[in-house]
Amino acid sequence: MCFRSAAAFFLAATVSLTFHVATPTCRGADTPPAAEAKPKVDPSTWAKVSPAQTAAARKLGVPVAFENSVGMRFVLIPPGEFMMGSKDSSAQVASNCAMPNAAPGWFVDEHPRHKVTLTKAFYMSIHEVTNASYEALFAKPKPKKPKKPRKPSKAPEAPPEVKVPNEPIVKISFSVAEKFCKTLSGKEKRTYAMPTEAQWEYAYRAGTETAFSFGQAASTDKANYHGNYIYGPGKKGKNRAKPVVVGSLPPNAWGLYEMHGNLSEWCSDSYQRYTAEPQTDPTGPEKKERQRVLRGGSWRSYPGACRSAFRHGMDSNTSSETIGFRVVCSLTTDPPEEPKKKK
């Protein structure tokens, strides 16, 4: 079995894929008062940040957390360095998966382990993008006049799909996620994007070097994956068979929820194999390949695919009930990029 096909099987058994590309006023006595704006929730009540994040925010003179106009919440990720990739060998990882068909060849792209330095702090959304935030951004204005009722069709129409507001949005291709980031950037005059692969793993680890940010063993009390399987010294647990509402499981040390499992998340990088050389602020290949990086595993994945080092390449047009995304935001103190001079 080739690496790509084996990794795809490991990431999500029996995944069903679909493909799409995204496309002051005076008030009279009889006038009812205007609805009051919903007050913002103080970040100190929801942000689970570390002393390192607080110190970085104080040094940079920026908030350690904020909520944007569509209800997305962000925490500051401080700059720093880490070792990217798996600390365990491919053979050790395959053995820890405790699966008869797990092969070391599935995990070769997690090596060689190499040093990465991120020189700039950034904000990352504490949750995967939800149905509520997505619909708030792309909400269409209500029509002024009611539409004429349509004639009933001969065949009964299927009931509309009910979307839970605080569940992460699914079936999102890379292009749709990219459009979301561009639209949000234009609306808020800030730079939003999918995280680079290095930013994603750095934030996931939150200073740890273990297989998961919470240790060497998988646990369905801390992550949403296929609980009939184990990793390392872990035990079998719940098989929820669907994504959980965001914030349902404990955050990592930097206040990020559901980084392990729940949904596989797009990164901005094109897929490439690692090299041993140290890297600073890596962004992946300059050439935009169709293969993009997915991280974190999903509710349908084996726990080994939810590790900090596990990575997978997927066609950017792919959409699935196991795929979603989260975003990063640049600091307001970042200077605007200068336009490139034409040669």
3-state DSSP of 270-313: ECCCCCCCCEECCCCCCCCCCEEEEECCCCCCCHHHHCCCCEEE
Domain boundaries, the chain: 3-17+60-137+164-329
User: What local confidence, expressed as pLDDT, does residue 143 receive?
Assistant: 64
pLDDT confidence bin for 148, thresholds 50/70/90? low
Say whether 246 sits in a helix, a strand or coil.
coil
Local structure of residue 216 (DSSP, 8 states): S
Give the single-character DSSP code of 215: B
158 class by beta-carbon count within 10 Å (0-12 exposed, 13-18 middle, 19+ buried): exposed
Beta-bridge mates of residue 116? 82, 279
Distance CA 6, CA 98 (A): 16
> Cα separation of 336 and 128, whole Å?
27
321 C-beta neighbours (distance < 10 Å), count: 18
CA-based radius of gyration for the chain: 22
Q: What is the phi/psi pair of residue 17, to 5°?
A: -105, 145
In this prediction the pTM is: 0.84
Q: How confident is the model at residue 98 (pLDDT cuts 50, 70, 90)?
A: confident
Gap between the Cα atoms of 52 and 106, Å rounded? 35
| Tens digit of each residue's pLDDT (9 = 90 or more) over 12-60 | 543 444 434 333 333 344 443 443 445 678 898 999 999 999 999 999 9
pLDDT tier at 5, thresholds 50, 70, 90:
very low
- For residue 340, the model assigns a pLDDT of 52
Over residues 300-305, mean pLDDT: 96
Encoding tokens for residue 325? 């995304």
* CATH 1.10.10.60 describes domain 3-17+60-137+164-329: no
Percent of the chain with pLDDT over 70: 78
From residue 245, give the alpha-carbon distance in Å to each of 153, 163, 168, 191: 36, 11, 7, 26
Q: Which residues contact 2 (CB under 8 A, 6 or more apart)?
A: none
Q: Label residue 139 by pLDDT band (50, 70, 90).
A: confident
Which tens digits make up the pLDDT trace of 210-236?
999 999 999 999 999 999 999 999 999
Q: For residues 99-128, b (16+ Cβ closer than 10 Å) or e, as one string?
A: beebbeebbebbbeeeebebeebbbbbbbb
Q: How far is residue 8's CA from residue 14's CA, in Å, rounded to a whole number?
A: 10
Residue 206 C-beta-side C-alpha neighbours within 13 Å = 24
Q: To the nearest whole percent, how much of the chain has pLDDT over 90? A: 72
